[in-house]
Amino acid sequence: MNLIRRAKSQVRRIASRRRSNGEAAVAGEDILDVLKREHEEVAALLNRLVETDSGPARKRLVQQIKTALVPHLRAEEKVLYRAVIRLRDRRVRQHGEEGIIEHRLADNILAGLGRARSATSPQFEATAKVLRELMQHHVDEEEREIWQDVRENFSADERMRMTRRFETEKQRVRAV
Ligand SMILES: [Fe+2]
Ligand SMILES: [Fe+2]
């Protein structure tokens, strides 16, 4: 392999590793772009979880989903939802509260998958499907309603500052 090709494939490997670790936020990036990327990453993992038949693969995927999703949820609550709930508009605040309730549901379902003794039981499969459905609904609503609220109420600069705080909060969750 020539040098340029080798260098290019190395860059691709590093880029995909950064993406899969959810650490690809670049200084100056809009918080909504970072969230979008993470939503897609979790959706892909949930699809694989529902589609695979292998017990060990399912267990690995649950772990990967936990690693990707839990810091996202906690940091999003602190940085995004809290900011939205602080706004005056009653409907906007309700969107934030609804999102937080759905996060709690996702936490509970994910904990159930982590505790499951068998990853090949019908109960495990049902739980995985419910988690995927909940997250599809949640992300769909979040991207439509909450993001609209964020775009209307926070400047581009504020949204960039949110990105920095979001990354810091995620690191804090990972360190626990
Ligand atoms: Fe989200
Ligand atoms: Fe969310």
Specify the pLDDT at position 13. 46
CATH code of the domain covering residue 51: 1.20.120
In this prediction, residue 81 carries a pLDDT of 96
Give, in order, the Cα–Cα distances in Å from 154 to each of 31, 97, 144, 148: 11, 18, 16, 10
Looking at residue 11, what is its pLDDT? 44
CB neighbour class for 176 (10 Å; exposed up to 12, middle 13-18, buried from 19): exposed
Question: What distance in angstroms lies between residue 103's CA and the mean position of ligand 1's atoms?
Answer: 9
How many folded domains does the chain comprise?
1
pTM, 2 dp: 0.84
Mean of the per-residue pLDDT values of the chain? 89
The pLDDT of residue 155 is above 80: yes
CA of 10 to the centre of ligand 2 (A): 33
CA of 77 relative to ligand 1 center, distance in Å: 9
Ligand 2 geometric centre to CA of 1 (Å): 44
Determine the pLDDT at residue 25. Answer: 67
Distance in Å, CA 16 to ligand 2 centroid: 23
State pLDDT tens for residues 92-132: 999 999 999 999 999 999 999 999 999 999 999 999 999 99
Ligand nearest to the CA of 31: 1
Provide, for the chain, the percentages of residues in helix, strand and coil under a 3-state DSSP scheme, each rounded to the nearest 5: 85, 0, 15
pLDDT higher for 4 or 172? 172
CA of 59 to the centre of ligand 1 (A): 23
* Residue 174 banded pLDDT, cuts 50, 70, 90: confident
CA of 54 to the centre of ligand 1 (A): 28
Q: What is the whole-number distance in angstroms between the Cα of residue 116 and the centre of ligand 1?
A: 25
| Domain extent for 14 | 2-172
Question: Which ligand is nearest to the Cα of residue 102, counting in written order?
Answer: 2
Average pLDDT over residues 61-69: 98
Q: What is the pLDDT of residue 28?
A: 83
